[in-house]
Structure 1
């Protein structure tokens, strides 16, 4: 049985809780801490720029502060802050009791939290990464950024990508599978719509960055040659990989604030959003187009003019759906009766700041203007007007808007409005002046003396902006403990489900089962205990068909099942991963510290994952829910499908990098590394046979034939070990002939890609070993779903090899 949920006054509550509201609060508090640290770094930068030239920081420390400010704000603040709001609100808005996989939700947070700790340790190992948040090649390699802290930064970011992937899988499964009865996708609240599109973009964009970071980590630690030199187009390759992530990241950052704008404008204008369905379609279109514009960040590279012109057109095209959204917001407030509360002021301010940010971005989408503006403070100003001006301002609106719901207390309205005035004035002074002083080069503290006045105005505005947040922290901190009590509907004209429960909501959110079957939110029955899935518990799918609903996580107490809300193992797993990745970063120089840290992390990770898998944890699924278009798909299977979609992008990025480098070098000039096709062909047959055994294992689990189930899984395990043995033989043969992963770009691509695949095989074998023991104990008797999920993963690993075999052995 999992841990019982301790009271809020206990530290164990916050360390072990899997409840979505607790996890949301932890995301919010952690990201606000990051915001404060990143803000202090911004003030250091502005102090340095009070006059042209070095003043309080020398060149390398200045570059470290600039890079750290960007990395912290973009990766560890703004999206995690939105994730905190989504964690708290999305289940409430769709009528769910929690996210689909509560323990994975806690694991996602702790991976985020520990990745931040790992990154912060980079400052203590010769200095952190110092070449900008875009980490351009070849500056991202040890020859230019030699500190161990640089490698630690890379692996901390990779760890953060794992956190984001887990969160994306969880939210996608939750929103598509756990909506209350009658709540169709068209009627889902707009904040949830914006977050759904955000996590779909995160799933694919962050997987691409994860692949790039793993290759970069390999370059820094093992000496592979993906981004070193131009023989394989290293710097251009990094540009493609990074910006294929980087431009969707702009919309990943802005979509949750956009959802907040849509919610807040409706509430404080007292009317439904004008053109609601068109706004949803516009957001969907933007999400799709966001992956088609990345090369406008690469206009200064050697890409030919025809391609640049095409991407100039797609860049201008993506602005058109935003025009519709902006006009919808304007018409909504024009036709409504506005109530000028603090959340609305920040929402309106976010819209007003986003518009000039978007317009100045269109300038950068034109090839000729981009040649002039790229690398100047025009980009800095545009970027902050979009990310902080539009995105950050709206997030503040959301914090004030939902503060009464989360705390049960009202904030001080006068202080809130004072915060807005200081913020709005300070922001425009800080970043508006940078448009005027646009000729200043980015990331450089030397500039033309004639721009000194504008930089001093910008610095004054930055400090005024900082003071505004002191007001906010004081207001919200004081109000959280001593503010007036808030009822469940503190705002007039609220429309979404979270306002139908108390402030703050109870542990399991609702007094009964939420339903929208009559077009409005109702509660039709109280919570009741259920029997173990696989006995008499059934669910009704979207078509009303009763089907058995096996659970991924289940626990029993006194013959009845009750939802669990605490587990100690997510934090253990996260710290194990953190130590392991810290060891990877330290391995740039080798030594006892790297080996001991990595080994300790691996041991903690093994213990944590083993106990995570063995823990008896029950996360119920509502027997009646709106699940279109996944009515006939189980919760676990849907989650696995989504995860594998992300892994497709990881391998797709790595294989795409191989193809890019080969074309760049000359397809026929590429030296094939494996000297013989025979081992690869044998391994192909071995993996295909192992997939057949997994199919048999699923069938035997379905029939309840325990012995044959164990035998099939054992056969899969044995064939996987043989596969790895043959692969090890191939590698040792290459080593014997003097071919290593750092010998050439061909060798780097071969060893890294097949090594990544082998790592997936090893993980699959570890799961298979665990399942053999569990199957022998009868855990899967009458519950074949875990075997099916393992089968989906194993088939995916085999399919990847089917692509790798011809690429590396035949072509």
Structure 2
């Protein structure tokens, strides 16, 4: 680790930097590469659709390209592009020096990058996933998509979910804990507000998808029966899990562009957003309601009519707060003096395209109309008008809006406006025509001959849309080299703090410590704060102020590469156990080494000892981060246990055959884990009393009890195997082995941490600072509580 960053011209800078601005640029550049790659896929299958029937792509190839386009654009482009903006600008907007956990921020990016590489590798080792981006069961099972590439895709998505969870924990902690002094949560900029709501939704929605992917991975690699099921239940289970993620994902994608619309409308109209507090309330309501409408994607399934009617009501109800937001944007413009710069054109275009997208979505929320439109190009058109039209268009505007801030150079305004004109025309030709040709079935290359002309219009529009970005990339490349220099802000009316520092911002962001105590942004000396200010609960204020912040670490990229190899090895087990063992063991060793060095590294995160921390004053940022992470893990186990409940109800609650023949081993293990939690409490108390021997003994007892738990569980499993019961024997066995196995993995991970703490405490650590033991205790107690729920579910009921 080095406090000084290498020059930007070196690869080492980009491989090791933990600075939020560098990580933001990495996200933006990578996501734009994905955009080009996914766009070329779209042009490929649009060329196929010039005429009906097979042209140059076979059926499976067409499905691969369509699926790849959807997966790349949704998972690896649009939200990561917004994450790049958030990485770069959220700390600047709230007056922070960096994110709360800079190394975790770098790790989240490298996991994202590695997940992309793992997914792209699926095209090289056989047929990749060809089920559409929704991966519906039973098409997602090996009996229909047997190629190893499908399993590698599942592994890549699981890695991406880990990346998103780490990023969500980091941003939630940062925004709640690291705001500049005097900056209340209600007064943070609207882009930061939309990103805060986005990462809260990501925390819970992506955890549910991670659980679904773990179950799908076990079906594909181990042969479990979650999505095969007895009768139609497995397919319905995937629908519930996927769409509980899938509908919040719409708002996860759209909220950051919405925040950008607010910022650009304010800047280019010279007016504050009309009804700002009501807008914030509306967005909070939408974020909450987004988890209550998922079944409107399942109206064509066997769900009863009463339940469909209820979800039709919630689906239409969620449009009401959106109406308030749209009217707020319109009235902001009506009351302002508009300046038609390129960023504003894209922001206005996003609003114009959002409106038909939203209206056509209300059609799909009605049960009767959904029966007609589902599975047609009506859904494709609506989806693109929301995701790319409303969301992607505003994000492109964000590229132009913040380009001078990130580069210190001004783009070419004429080329920017030309880009918008061609883009807007191409978009409406490509997707507006889909509303007219809506009777085309989705995900197939055959359609009625009478729709040929409309498909040719779509293809022409798609090429115009794609070609417009050649103008953007040329504009940016030329402007970085020779554009007019920008000192501060090129815009006349800016309202957010990122414009209060140089363009591009210096490494440490600010000339002094930002404060809003006077009601407006000011800078004061970074000297030790006065005693009346809020201080960090993680470390004394004066000590924190004196530390020189670190900006570089090589271990995030090492840990990410190891994780990628580990998950790839697990996926390869579907094809070859030898390949799986070689790649998986290499990944495990690299991950373990990287994690160990990560823990040993002396790294000082930039942190202001004075900040606005409501409602978490006195909690400590690391403890807050652990709480947020455990909230995500609650969702993972909740989805897994919910799958057990669903499968049991589908099979018949009383017909369910409990797998463990005796409850005694589970009861003993319950006492073992509860005792281990008590040992962790003792370790923390001994550390607070500075009694090294007690710390070592207590942590050692925790580790021993963990081995006892795993030993009993291993014996119990071996007894099942001896009687011919395996994870693929029945749905009862699948739920038992996978759920208790996932819990066992949590125990093993906790034991690795306990062993690390034991080694450090043997050498005298934690006596002057017992907080690492406390944070580990939060995780270990959570694992024990989960077992307290699993024991009656699988042993007693």
Q: Specify the TM-score bucket, using the shorter chain as the normaliser.
A: over 0.9
- Is the alpha carbon distance of 1:555 and 1:738 closer, same or farther for their aligned partners in structure 2, counting shifts above 3 Å? farther
* SS of 1:124 mapped into structure 2: coil
629, 632, 649: which one pairs with 1:663?
649
Deviations 1:450-469 (A, max 9, x none): 00000000000000001100
Matched, 1:748 2:727: no
In the alignment, the residues of structure 1 paired with residue 258 and residue 534 of structure 2 have an alpha-carbon distance, to the nearest angstrom, of 37
In the alignment, the residues of structure 2 paired with residue 719 and residue 3 of structure 1 have an alpha-carbon distance, to the nearest angstrom, of 40
Deviates more, 1:580-589 or 1:274-283: 580-589
Deviates more, 1:799-808 or 1:482-491: 482-491
Matched, 1:227 2:216: no
Match of residue 169 from structure 1: 169
In the alignment, the residues of structure 2 paired with residue 229 and residue 375 of structure 1 have an alpha-carbon distance, to the nearest angstrom, of 24
Match of residue 291 from structure 2: 291
Query: Structure 2 matches for 1:228-377, cutoff 5 A?
Result: 228-231=228-231, 233-377=233-377
* SS of 1:409 mapped into structure 2: coil
Deviates more, 1:585-594 or 1:746-755: 585-594
Matched, 1:467 2:467: yes
How far did residue 549 of structure 1 move?
A: 3.1
Match of residue 538 from structure 2: 549
Deviations 1:336-355 (A, max 9, x none): 00000000000000000000
In the alignment, the residues of structure 2 paired with residue 511 and residue 121 of structure 1 have an alpha-carbon distance, to the nearest angstrom, of 45
How far did residue 3 of structure 1 move?
A: 5.9
757, 772, 791: which one pairs with 1:771?
757
- Is the alpha carbon distance of 1:641 and 1:94 closer, same or farther for their aligned partners in structure 2, counting shifts above 3 Å? same
Matched, 1:381 2:370: no
Deviates more, 1:583-592 or 1:456-465: 583-592
Q: Note if contact 1:24-1:83 (Cα within 8 Å) is conserved in structure 2.
A: yes
Q: Note if contact 1:539-1:547 (Cα within 8 Å) is conserved in structure 2.
A: no
Q: Note if contact 1:555-1:616 (Cα within 8 Å) is conserved in structure 2.
A: no
In the alignment, the residues of structure 1 paired with residue 427 and residue 599 of structure 2 have an alpha-carbon distance, to the nearest angstrom, of 49
Deviations 1:294-339 (A, max 9, x none): 0000000000000000000000000000000000000000010000
Match of residue 627 from structure 1: 613
How far did residue 704 of structure 1 move?
A: 1.4
In the alignment, the residues of structure 2 paired with residue 550 and residue 270 of structure 1 have an alpha-carbon distance, to the nearest angstrom, of 42
How far did residue 488 of structure 1 move?
A: 1.1
In the alignment, the residues of structure 1 paired with residue 740 and residue 544 of structure 2 have an alpha-carbon distance, to the nearest angstrom, of 39
Match of residue 534 from structure 1: none
- Is the alpha carbon distance of 1:181 and 1:555 closer, same or farther for their aligned partners in structure 2, counting shifts above 3 Å? closer
In the alignment, the residues of structure 2 paired with residue 186 and residue 467 of structure 1 have an alpha-carbon distance, to the nearest angstrom, of 41
Q: Note if contact 2:544-2:609 (Cα within 8 Å) is conserved in structure 1.
A: no
Q: Note if contact 2:229-2:647 (Cα within 8 Å) is conserved in structure 1.
A: no
How far did residue 4 of structure 1 move?
A: 3.3
- Is the alpha carbon distance of 1:310 and 1:548 closer, same or farther for their aligned partners in structure 2, counting shifts above 3 Å? closer
Match of residue 36 from structure 1: 36
Query: Structure 2 matches for 1:142-157, cutoff 5 A?
Result: 142-157=142-157
Matched, 1:653 2:639: yes
In the alignment, the residues of structure 1 paired with residue 441 and residue 723 of structure 2 have an alpha-carbon distance, to the nearest angstrom, of 49
How far did residue 592 of structure 1 move?
A: 1.9
Deviations 1:627-677 (A, max 9, x none): 000002001000000000000000000000000000111110000000001
How far did residue 56 of structure 1 move?
A: 1.7
TM-score (norm 2): 0.98
Match of residue 704 from structure 1: 690
Query: Structure 2 matches for 1:64-79, cutoff 5 A?
Result: 64-79=64-79
Q: Note if contact 1:264-1:401 (Cα within 8 Å) is conserved in structure 2.
A: yes
Q: Note if contact 1:296-1:312 (Cα within 8 Å) is conserved in structure 2.
A: yes
* SS of 1:523 mapped into structure 2: strand
Match of residue 677 from structure 1: 663
In the alignment, the residues of structure 2 paired with residue 361 and residue 605 of structure 1 have an alpha-carbon distance, to the nearest angstrom, of 44
Instruction: Identify unmatched segments of 5+ residues in structure 2.
Output: none
In the alignment, the residues of structure 1 paired with residue 161 and residue 638 of structure 2 have an alpha-carbon distance, to the nearest angstrom, of 16
How far did residue 43 of structure 1 move?
A: 0.3
Deviations 1:411-448 (A, max 9, x none): 00000000000000000000000000000000010000
Q: Note if contact 1:430-1:459 (Cα within 8 Å) is conserved in structure 2.
A: yes
Matched, 1:430 2:430: yes
In the alignment, the residues of structure 1 paired with residue 611 and residue 530 of structure 2 have an alpha-carbon distance, to the nearest angstrom, of 8
- Is the alpha carbon distance of 1:127 and 1:197 closer, same or farther for their aligned partners in structure 2, counting shifts above 3 Å? same
How far did residue 231 of structure 1 move?
A: 4.3
Match of residue 593 from structure 1: 579
Match of residue 508 from structure 2: 508
In the alignment, the residues of structure 1 paired with residue 607 and residue 764 of structure 2 have an alpha-carbon distance, to the nearest angstrom, of 23
665, 673, 680: which one pairs with 1:687?
673
Q: Note if contact 1:48-1:445 (Cα within 8 Å) is conserved in structure 2.
A: yes
* SS of 1:130 mapped into structure 2: coil
- Is the alpha carbon distance of 1:546 and 1:608 closer, same or farther for their aligned partners in structure 2, counting shifts above 3 Å? closer
Match of residue 454 from structure 1: 454
In the alignment, the residues of structure 2 paired with residue 598 and residue 9 of structure 1 have an alpha-carbon distance, to the nearest angstrom, of 34
Q: Note if contact 1:6-1:12 (Cα within 8 Å) is conserved in structure 2.
A: yes
In the alignment, the residues of structure 1 paired with residue 476 and residue 56 of structure 2 have an alpha-carbon distance, to the nearest angstrom, of 33
In the alignment, the residues of structure 2 paired with residue 343 and residue 593 of structure 1 have an alpha-carbon distance, to the nearest angstrom, of 50
Match of residue 796 from structure 1: 782
Q: Note if contact 2:35-2:77 (Cα within 8 Å) is conserved in structure 1.
A: yes
* SS of 1:514 mapped into structure 2: strand
Deviations 1:375-403 (A, max 9, x none): 00000000000000000000001110011
In the alignment, the residues of structure 2 paired with residue 787 and residue 190 of structure 1 have an alpha-carbon distance, to the nearest angstrom, of 37
In the alignment, the residues of structure 2 paired with residue 672 and residue 136 of structure 1 have an alpha-carbon distance, to the nearest angstrom, of 29
- Is the alpha carbon distance of 1:195 and 1:252 closer, same or farther for their aligned partners in structure 2, counting shifts above 3 Å? same
Q: Note if contact 1:237-1:657 (Cα within 8 Å) is conserved in structure 2.
A: yes
Q: Note if contact 2:550-2:603 (Cα within 8 Å) is conserved in structure 1.
A: yes
How far did residue 539 of structure 1 move?
A: 9.2
* SS of 2:302 mapped into structure 1: coil
Q: Note if contact 1:2-1:615 (Cα within 8 Å) is conserved in structure 2.
A: no
In the alignment, the residues of structure 2 paired with residue 555 and residue 126 of structure 1 have an alpha-carbon distance, to the nearest angstrom, of 53
How far did residue 550 of structure 1 move?
A: 2.8
Q: Note if contact 2:535-2:611 (Cα within 8 Å) is conserved in structure 1.
A: no
Deviations 1:37-90 (A, max 9, x none): 000000011101000011121111000000000000000000000000000000
Q: CA RMSD in A?
A: 1.4
Q: Note if contact 2:568-2:584 (Cα within 8 Å) is conserved in structure 1.
A: yes
How far did residue 548 of structure 1 move?
A: 5.4
Query: Structure 2 matches for 1:173-184, cutoff 5 A?
Result: 173-184=173-184
**Shift >2 Å, 4+ stretches:** 1-4, 229-232, 543-552
- Is the alpha carbon distance of 1:328 and 1:477 closer, same or farther for their aligned partners in structure 2, counting shifts above 3 Å? same
